[in-house]
Amino acid sequence: MTNPILTDWNTPFQIAPFDAISDSDFAPALDSALEQHRAEIAAIAENPEPASFANTVEALEAAGEALDKVLSVFFTVAGADSNPDREALQREFSPRLAAHFSDISSNKALFRRVADLWARKDELALTPEQARVLMLTHRGLVRAGAALEGDADARMKEIKSRLATLGTEFTQNLLADEREWYMELARADLDGLPKFVVDAALEAGREKGVEGPVVTLSRSVIVPFLQFSPRRDLRERAFEAWAARGANGGATDNRDIAAEILALRQERAALLGYDSFADYKLETEMARTPDRVRDLLMAVWEPARARADADAEVLSQMMHDDGINGALEPWDWRYYAERRRKAEHDLDEAALKPYLQLDRMIDAAFSCANRLFGLEFRAVDLPLYHPDCRAWEVTREGEHVALFIGDYFARGSKRSGAWCSAMRSQARFPREQAPIVINVCNFAKGEPALLSYDDARTLFHEFGHALHQMLSDVTYESISGTSVARDFVELPSQLYEHWLEVPEVLREFAVHAETGEPMPAEMLDRVLGAATFDMGFQTVEYVASALVDLAFHEGDAPADPMARQSEILQDLGMPHAIRMRHATPHFAHVFAGDGYSSGYYSYMWSEVMDADAFAAFEEAGGAFDPERAQALEEHILSAGGSQEPDVLYTAFRGRLPEVGALLKGRGLAA
């Protein structure tokens, strides 16, 4: 029988035929796609004709179509709807894929053709976009080890394969810990919890097959519990389980995996002639060097820690007033911070959440995209990979732009966090193709589903990534959409969060789930007034993680990452009652793959730009200024990786930003 993954997808929008694909299709499809891709690469490398941009670089761009189809479907379901079969396949596929792409990057005949073109680049009459693609192709091969010979070449292949295996194990161990742990709640344990927290706990219990409410390690369940439960003993038990993900001993412990990953990365960088993995990784980012990253992080760390220390004194006094002696602990912070927020800003999240319905926040994100960029969204009924998923056709002036899929609810088969990915990226070569973009989140189910303000911000954040994919307008897929420097990719997503805080947006879309009444003006004022509340805590937990990531990769790899983590935090003066947002054993950004390794700082680097970029709207005609929106689309959202990030940002803003805008936006400026 024909494998449905490898057929022509004669489906609406040429989306994968999820209803026809079974797990047994993936392995044979991968076998066939790898064989086809190997043949395509061999034909390019062994072409007897002299190297040209068309027969080498464009041929590389066109190769691998079948493999792209297999991987886009598989990794979509492996991340968002895993099962034991898919986990086993992922363990099998990861080293095979690493070996496959390592073979390509070490193909000497292929590299000679690309290097020849690079040496003759000024003679080739390339368009600016073609010149950019040639540079990235040559640079990518060199950084992957294409120039290595002999033992060094062989060792690089071994390192890549082992890193792929370790990254998969790290991810699956974390998912297993998150999936297996839950804490059942008795009726008395529900005292003091708002209805939305109880409802989320009941839904989590149903998902776990348990009679009654449970607390799970899904952020949308455990964070509200830590905010509202007056039971300090239960908060401690839940928090410590959350903090211990990946460090529970046994088969799912990630500590040794992290140590091996760091050692292999250091060796990889040394083979390529770099002093450290951080030097290697940052070379192609906007930041360029570890010193520039550290300068930014420390400029934010000092005022953030001072704010957190002052806040800790207030929260400690509140705890002591409750008759609890001793130090404020990490499982106390969110509880007392929530009480303080209610007291100082008269802002109660239990009262706020009914105004933040998931469907209305989706509508708000769509509405802003319509006002800024003229996009329109029409719900379409398609067979998708899970019943929770929804799809919309995106059009502009009647023309198809993209297909957008939203997968919003937490479940045990989905890894934690939120992300955006493209099942297909925009391109005009070798043929026109419109993007298919997915936002995946982990919100608690409910009837209706209600979001925290942080959840709503996450929704806007991921939709900002989606717009970067949808509005891409380049020729070559390798520079399409979010194919940009890691410390630039978060600019569109973090910038889009600002539109959630535009008063007219909240007035229109923040309506009560039961009464339909808009959010009262005084509540809206309190929401916006509390925008920087607890920012010391939020900044410290993030910057600590970013500094640990940088330190891990800047010098010799630590034999004991947990001991090194403790040293770094001690040197920073980490407040006792705050933990890293992502401790090493569950720091998936850094250890599940190379994406954010030495790069977790990039959210803050991008925030420097997003604060400055939104100020450009405010300085012009307001949040929906049409000229600024057009400039944002032209110079950033549509441009993909067609130019260096600093060039793109300067074209949009007229200059590069400074850290002051970030400190002001976080309420940390003096």
The owner of tokens 């309190």 is: 526
Q: H helices of 385-452, where?
A: none
Active site residues: 462
CB neighbours of 668 closer than 8 A, spacing ≥ 6? 300, 303, 304, 307, 532, 535, 536, 539
Angle between helices 84-105 and 150-180 (to 10 degrees): 160
- Please provide the distance, in angstroms rounded to a whole number, between the alpha carbons at the two ends of the chain: 69
Question: Rounded CA gap, 362 and 504, in Å?
Answer: 16
Q: What are phi and psi of 153, to 5 degrees?
A: -65, -45
The verdict on whether omega for the bond into residue 430 sits within 30 degrees of 0, i.e. cis, is yes
Question: Rounded CA gap, 665 and 603, in Å?
Answer: 14
How is 498-535 classified by DSSP, letter by letter? Answer: GGGG-HHHHHHH-B-TTT-PBPPHHHHHHHHHTTTTTH
Question: Bridge-partner residues for 565, per DSSP?
Answer: none
CB atoms within 10 A of CB 130: 18
Q: What are phi and psi of 304, to 5 degrees?
A: -70, -45
Question: Rounded CA gap, 549 and 198, in Å?
Answer: 36
CA-CA-CA-CA dihedral for 309, 311, 315, 316, to nearest 10: 20
Question: Rounded CA gap, 133 and 478, in Å?
Answer: 8
Q: What are phi and psi of 383, to 5 degrees?
A: -75, 120
Q: What are phi and psi of 439, to 5 degrees?
A: -105, 125
Coil/strand/helix, residue 5: coil
CA distances from 402 to 94, 372, 434 (A): 29, 17, 5
Q: What does DSSP say about strands 182-184 and 214-216: parallel, antiparallel, or unpaired?
A: antiparallel
Q: Are 545 and 588 in contact (CB under 8 A)?
A: no
Maximum distance among all Cα pairs of the chain, rounded to whole angstroms:
83
Question: Bridge-partner residues for 421, per DSSP?
Answer: 438
CB neighbours of 409 closer than 8 A, spacing ≥ 6? 388, 441, 442, 443, 444, 445, 449
CB atoms within 10 A of CB 48: 4
Question: Rounded CA gap, 190 and 188, in Å?
Answer: 5
